[in-house]
Chain A
């Protein structure tokens, strides 16, 4: 599948933003976070800013972005529509929660409940994003049980990394949050490795033989394509990445998204003061870049059954 930059940016930024929002919405009402308004403003600003930039960038790949509002109408059948509804609905409790915390310094009662609703909305939105891919049967590398856990775990891990940075920036390091971050990175890395192992070890049930129905007569090979230059289908769904490049990018994603942020968070966990702040300040952006690489690969390595009509033997 063609890796469209706008969608990669959207899923990466909104993933981290919703992860952070979910953590804030749950932890602030439980008094696990600094109550200062400055912290609230910075943390909620970062979370909602990332989410908003992500959502806006997602409209860039539309052919008719001026009609984007129509995408909220078909939530009964469409995961994309559900994602849109969930993302916008999340702004309501997040807004009330944010106003209460930032302007009145309160996260109790109804305001705290709004935080929990915002957290639920954040998780549901990321779940819907993952389900858009998970539900596409023609793309076997997306239509499998590893996709949703990977999206949720990466959202949690990147959200936690940004929270660790915020806590250090406000001089309020929290060893529980740092420990949770280390755990979430291990979990996310394990899920990503499992996903890669799955896609390397399994093939689509569809072949050129089933796509044409001619498999019973012998091996099916494309002799002549219908057209001489690439069409929309090949440009959008025929993206092919060389195996050696994919292997290298997987190593880069592993290092940038998981291994290095883990070591840096360990530094932040053990070392006090400035070194911890520097480590946290490197870890969060580095992991976010790592997730961009991971997400690029998620698209680039995905194969669509339409390629079976254009010479591919397996999808």
Chain B
């Protein structure tokens, strides 16, 4: 059923991505690819992987942007994946019922057994979250690692999406954004987390944390402003004797 759930639970699982911390290492994208190639959405087909024009399905892409110019210019690394929107047109445009939004936790998924590969959902997503697998002939997208986050064979701390588990700088956070008291919701409130393209009206669940303001000048670290010449007092003892011998 591609109509949106009429009585969704208050739960809205999603990601919070800290653009202040992300270093653009692509580990999230690579671990996502690794996990999901064997997960419920696998295989994530790669065509011509070692050729001149490799092409494949990824659920997560890391873009790097230059923002501003001159002294205020900065580099921002920007991971982009499905935002599991509250108003996802990608779901409602689906003619077959393959695309759906779960009432229980708000995750947007594709039932690959129903998908006819018309690609309309990928046109309806402003964020480019859906990628067509031309080898299998169906649409694929981020599952928020639905096969990890409820996986009881994992330690509880590992029940997070692969991208979150692997981030070496903890720039990615996973949790319930429908609960204002959750860690991720507090983080969003504290840091001014925001929606991408709010003008589209999709009400994304995932939030992005903005880069922190730059410091206008270097702060005081306690070090002297200028280096002084090292002390060249004459050495004593054996070293002093060698020094005098060699200098003589």
Contacts and interface: CB of A to CB of B under 8 A. Distances in A.
Given A70-B97, A80-B93, A138-B123, A217 B68 contact: yes
B115 A210 contact: no
Contact of B114 (A70, A72, A213, A219): A70
B218 interface: no
27 contacts: A62-B117, A63-B134, A64-B138, A67-B96, A74-B2, A77-B94, A80-B118, A136-B93, A137-B89, A137-B201, A205-B199, A206-B200, A211-B126, A211-B127, A212-B67, A214-B19, A214-B67, A214-B76, A218-B72, A218-B73, A221-B66, A223-B75, A227-B58, A229-B53, A232-B134, A305-B200, A309-B80
B147 to A, nearest CB: 23
The secondary-structure label for the interface of chain B is: loop
A78 interface: yes
Contacts of B230: none
Contacts of A78: 2, 92-95, 120
Given A63-B138, A210-B196, 13 more contacts: A63-B117, A63-B134, A71-B95, A77-B4, A78-B93, A78-B120, A81-B95, A132-B120, A137-B200, A138-B126, A206-B200, A211-B197, A237-B122
Contact of A213 (B26, B72, B196): B196
A231 B131 contact: yes
Given A61-B118, A80-B93, A80-B120, A227 B200 contact: no
B68 A218 contact: yes
Contacts of A200: none
Interface of B: 1-4, 19, 24, 26, 29, 52-58, 61-69, 72-76, 78, 80, 89, 91-98, 114-120, 122-128, 131-134, 136-139, 194-202, 208, 210-211
Contact of B116 (A1, A63, A231): A63
A236 interface: yes
Contacts of A137: 89, 124, 126, 200-202
Which of A70, A219, A222, A236 is the most central at the interface, judged by chain B CB atoms within 10 Å of its CB? Answer: A70
Interface of A: 1, 61-65, 67-68, 70-74, 76-81, 84, 132, 135-139, 205-206, 208, 210-214, 217-233, 236-237, 304-306, 309-310
Nearest to A235: B55
A208 B63 CA distance: 12
B64 A64 contact: no
A84 B97 CA distance: 14
A196 to B, nearest CB: 21
